[in-house]
């Protein structure tokens, strides 16, 4: 049997293109979603003291924390120090997959019309949900 270099190159090209277009890693996608999860954004006054302490220690850098107390699961996400005020964080999606709880957030910068302070800030968000499973949390 004779295998030409041309056929080997074609085969490698097909495999490479397949990997590029389908992705090398098996990542969970919205297609894996079992259901959306309900949550509440929790202000500082409603956060457990221990969680507030952890956030205070980590807030100068980006962080992702999960904290369980009783029947409640808290998820805190911070984006580290930002150059000014006016930043906020939106929760784009929070859902359960077969293997994890997936949370997707975005840091939103101040609008051009906003009057913001020039003082650096450390924006973060804390959500509270029911502790429904022992699945790990995946941050997107």
User: 30-80 pLDDT, tens per residue?
Assistant: 668 999 999 999 999 999 999 999 999 999 999 999 999 999 999 999 999
Per residue in 86-134, pLDDT tens?
Answer: 999 999 999 999 999 999 999 999 887 677 788 999 999 999 999 987 8
Q: Answer yes or no: is 33 within a domain.
A: yes
What is the structure's pLDDT at 16? 43
Number of structural domains in the chain: 1
Q: Answer yes or no: is 123 within a domain.
A: yes
Q: Answer yes or no: is 37 within a domain.
A: yes
Are the CB atoms for 65 and 126 separated by under 8 Å? no
Q: Does the predicted model carry a pTM greater than 0.85?
A: no
- How much is the average pLDDT of 24-29? 47
Cross-strand bridge partners of residue 40: 128
Structural domain for 72, as ranges: 28-139
Who's near 74: CB < 8 A, 6+ residues apart?
42, 47, 48, 51, 65, 66, 67, 68, 126, 127, 128
Q: Answer yes or no: is 1 within a domain.
A: no
């Amino acid at each position: 049997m004779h295998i030409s270099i041309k056929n080997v190159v074609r085969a490698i090209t097909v495999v490479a293109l397949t990997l590029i277009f389908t992705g090398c890693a098996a990542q969970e996608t919205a297609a894996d979603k079992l259901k959306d999860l309900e949550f509440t954004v929790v202000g500082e006054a409603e956060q457990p003291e221990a969680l507030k302490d952890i956030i205070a220690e980590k807030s100068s850098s980006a962080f992702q924390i999960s904290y369980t107390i009783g029947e409640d699961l808290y998820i805190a996400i911070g984006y580290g120090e930002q150059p000014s005020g006016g930043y906020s964080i939106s929760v784009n999606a929070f859902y359960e997959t077969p293997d994890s709880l997936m949370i997707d957030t975005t840091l939103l910068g101040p609008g051009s019309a906003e009057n913001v302070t020039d003082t650096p800030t450390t924006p973060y968000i804390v959500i509270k949900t029911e502790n429904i499973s022992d699945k790990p949390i995946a941050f997107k």
